[in-house]
A and B are shown apart, each in its own frame.
Chain A
Amino acid sequence: MDFKPLFRPKTMAVVGVSFKNERHPANVIFNKIFLRYPVEVFPVNPRGGFLQGEKVFKRISEIPRGIDLAVIAVRADYVADVLTDCIQSSVKGAVLISGGFAESGRQDLQDRIVAIARKADFPFIGPNCLGIYSPSHIDTFFLPSERMVRPGPGNVALVSQSGGVLVDQMVKFANEGVGLSLGISIGNKALVRELDLLDYLATDPKTEVIAFYVEGFEKNEGRKFVLAARACPKPVVVLKAGKSAAGTRAVSSHTASLAGDYAVFSAALSQHGVVEAKNEFELLSFCEALGSYKTAIEGRVGIITGSGGHGVLAVDCCAAHGISAPKLSAAACRKFKQLLSPSIREIATLTNPIDLTGSAIDDDFVTAASILSGDPEIECVIILLLPYSPGITSDVGARLSQVHRKSGKPVVAYVPHLEKYRMLIEGFEFNRVPVSPSIEGAVLMVEALRRCRPC
């Protein structure tokens, strides 16, 4: 199946527009595409007529242009007919927004549309979904544009069984400045499933990180998924929901009891280097980190701070994840000391975490980052930056990013996310050094690199 027309359509039909209800999903989708996206869009309703001055077509087959994507938002009983019309009119794919299928006990209706599509090799997303969001390409979400906060273009693809979770994550991604290549709500995933999208996204040039929100897989589908994810050259992140679901029947063996559904799920992911995000906070941090870095690490970090307390908090957080901060050798410390500004030489702590104190200037941070990046024992550097210190300027983000560019070793930063420090933060982010608004978030970015190592 060719998924490309689904995600990069040039022409689109929205089936099911209403003449009475302007908040009808089909109307919301038609409006946003018509007004805001570079896609030629045609409204469809069997009654024909005009909607906001635009001609409404009675059937897809009446549209005088070849259609790449049909977005279908009609009652479940009519979906099979519309799908058949799509296939006869050589439409290339569809998004089925309509609910009323397996999720409400109508497996029969769902089986019917799957059979129709399979026979014609016709891809559709859904049913019971929001569909597709691709920044400045397409948006089939029936949520009015003014209500949404949309992430800009980026390299993370987010695939979700839940439309609500997807939208909410998109808002959070946008808030952290993490861009998306694609957001796909797959709903009942009756035909196109995680594995199909993993295959597609593995070769999508815009996507560098592939993230999934999964509630469950079909029989043996999890096995196929992790094996495919292992073979995929891009990092794959999975947030599994339904971790505590009780078993459906009594278990009669220790193994069946100890190896519950979630325990197996989690073990299978880590065995194959698929990054499990345990919660939505991790999902965001992991996607952000893996969008910049692909190097798997064992977990030895260097920590640079201007505040002793921040260093200790970071070490605690690292320890909780099994990440260590190896001490620098005495010889390295002696050399390091000579390179620091005279005012902090006697007061800075140089072992690791490196506490440059509140009197440090930009140069001291750059020196410390260069020393740690050059140490063969250190795999990754965490910089905890407090812009309140008088010697820190807004140039420091861009300068520290250059250290990473030279050494190739991953650098992540913590900077309080206040509008005031935007230029400092952008100095990092525009150079692809990820920044977190919390110490824990910065440590999670390192944890992401550790989890993509098969264990």
Chain B
Amino acid sequence: MLKKSIRSILASSRKQGWVLEPEAKRLLSLAGLAVPKFTWASKLEGALKAAQRIGYPVVGKIVSPQVLHKSDVGGVVTHIDGEAALKKVFQRFTKLKGFAGILVEEMLAGTELIVGAKIDYQFGPVILLGIGGTEAELYQDISLRMAPLQETDVAAMVKCLRAHQFLEGYRGSAPVNMPALTRLLMAFSVVVMKLEDEIESIDLNPVMCMADRCVVADARIMLQARPKN
């Protein structure tokens, strides 16, 4: 059964066909996935307060039901180092289509992975793991599994990546925390199975993987055009 809070997020997102990023993060957090500290602020004052609480530098992202691909419109700014910079970003965002606020988030650094889900016509829910970032589609280094995942699937998925050494710690870079990645993928698999009839696909891209944790830095949940119920 879906939690009531998850249901209401889906219901309110139905209109635009996808879930706004702050709402998507709230949904994932309810499902047990780690997300960054974030605040959705529609006024500059709130944004500044949130940034102070989180601590600079922060990330600012546009929240708009009309902007699905945020970086394409300059709607993602990282390394915002103080109030003046945040103010400037906020003012620019207000001019973007359908402005509904700014998402202020803690800055994360780590290995960027993509975790995704798709409801495949022939095979039902499938989970994707790959080398992430905006260039994910260029590298096409991914592995796919039918959901639900077993814990042993996660190691097998990592091993299937061409760049698996990158995750295991390559030339001095910190290895990805495998137990944390496993927890994230298992929790994701559970929520994907529950959302099978609601969603079309989900991108968690990037998932920031650090030595101690894996955090969903960006999330996009595309809903099915016509849900069954």
Task: Kindly provide the distance from the CB of A321 to the nearest chain B CB, expressed in whole angstroms.
Answer: 15
CB distance from A447 to the nearest CB of B (A): 16
Q: In the assembled complex, how far is the CB of residue B125 from the closest CB belonging to chain A, in whole angstroms?
A: 9
B12 at the interface (CB under 8 A from A): no
CA distance in complex: A255, B137 (Å)? 9
List of A residues within 8 angstroms of B136 by Cβ: 254, 258
For B, the interface residue count at a CB cutoff of 8 angstroms equals 32
From B114, B121, B140, B145, contact of A255 by CB (8 A):
B114
- Within the complex, which residue of A226, A255, A265 is in contact with B203, where a contact is CB–CB below 8 Å? A255
Closest to A270 in B: B160
Residue B180, interface by CB 8 Å: no
Residues of B contacting A: mostly: strand
Residues 153-169 of chain B, each 1 if its beta carbon lies under 8 Å from chain A, else 0: 10010001000000000
Contacts of B203 in A (CB 8 A): 253-255
Give Cα A455 to B160, complex, Å: 9
Contact residues in B for A256 (Cβ distance below 8 Å): 118, 200-201, 222
When the two chains form their complex, are residues B124 and A258 in contact, meaning their CB atoms are under 8 A apart?
Answer: no
B128 within 8 A of A: yes
Residues of A within 8 A of B114 (CB): 254-255, 258
With a cutoff of 8 Å between Cβ atoms, the chain B residues found around residue A223 in the complex are 122-124, 146
Q: Is the CB of A259 within 8 A of B126?
A: yes
Knowing A255-B128, A256-B222, A258-B137 are in contact, say whether A219-B122 is a contact too (CB < 8 A).
Answer: yes
Whether A265 contacts B123 by the Cβ 8 Å rule is yes
Q: How far is the CA of A253 from the CA of B137 in the complex (A)?
A: 10
Is A389's beta carbon under 8 Å from chain B?
A: no
Cβ of A271 < 8 Å from any Cβ of B?
A: yes
Which of A217, A254, A259, A264 has most B Cβ within 10 Å?
A254
Contact B123 A220 (CB under 8 A): yes
Q: Does B77 contact A (CB under 8 A)?
A: no
- Least CB distance from B151 to A in Å reads 15
> Separation in Å of the B157 CB from the closest CB of chain A?
9
Grouping DSSP codes into helix (H, G, I), strand (E, B) and loop, the A interface class, with mixed when no group exceeds half, is helix
- Whether B130 pairs with A264 at a CB distance below 8 angstroms is no
CB atoms of B142 and A258 under 8 A apart? yes
A contact residues around B25 at 8 Å (CB)? none
When chains A and B are docked, how far (Å) is the Cα of A309 from the Cα of B124?
47
A21 within 8 A of B: no
Q: Are A221 and B137 in contact (CB under 8 A)?
A: no
Selected from B117, B121, B128, B137, the residue in CB contact (under 8 A) with A219 is: B121
Contact of B144 among A216, A217, A257, A267 (CB under 8 A): A267
* B184 → chain A closest CB, angstroms: 15
Cβ-based interface call for A104 (8 A): no
Interface string of A314-337 (1 = CB under 8 A from B): 000000000000000000000000
Q: B178 an interface residue at 8 Å Cβ cutoff?
A: no
Q: Are A258 and B222 in contact (CB under 8 A)?
A: no
Closest residue of chain A to B143 (Cβ to Cβ) is A267
Q: Are the CB atoms of B122 and A221 closer together than 8 Å?
A: yes
Distance of A221 Cα from B144 Cα, bound (Å):
18
A222 on the B face (CB < 8 A): yes
A253 touches B220 (CB 8 A): yes
> How many angstroms from the CA of A187 to the CA of B44 in the assembled complex?
64
- Given A258-B128, A259-B128: A253 in contact with B122 (beta carbons within 8 A): no
- In the complex, the answer to whether B123 meets A222 with C-beta atoms within 8 Å is yes
User: Quick check: A259 and B140 within 8 Å, CB to CB?
Assistant: no
Q: Does B64 contact A (CB under 8 A)?
A: no
Q: Which of B174-212 contact A (CB under 8 A)?
A: 200-203, 205
Q: Hey, what's the 0/1 contact readout for A191-216 against B, CB within 8 Å counting as 1?
A: 00000000000000000000000001
Cα distance A435–B126 when bound, in Å? 38
> Which B residues are in CB contact (< 8 Å) with A272?
146
**In the complex, chain B residues 108-125 whose Cβ is within 8 Å of any chain A Cβ:** 114, 116-118, 120-124
For residue B6, CB closer than 8 A to chain A, the reply is no
Asked whether B123 lies within 8 Å of A252 as measured between CB atoms, the reply is no
Contacting residues, chain B, for A440 (C-beta < 8 A): none
B76 within 8 Å of A (CB atoms): no
B54 within 8 A of A: no
Query: Do A258 and B146 form a contact, CB below 8 Å, given A252-B68, A253-B220, A455-B156?
Result: no
Q: A268-B126, A271-B146 are in contact. List 8 more A-B contacts (CB 8 A).
A: A222-B120, A251-B201, A252-B201, A253-B116, A258-B130, A259-B142, A265-B123, A267-B126
Closest 4 CB pairs of A and B: A255-B116, A222-B122, A267-B144, A217-B122
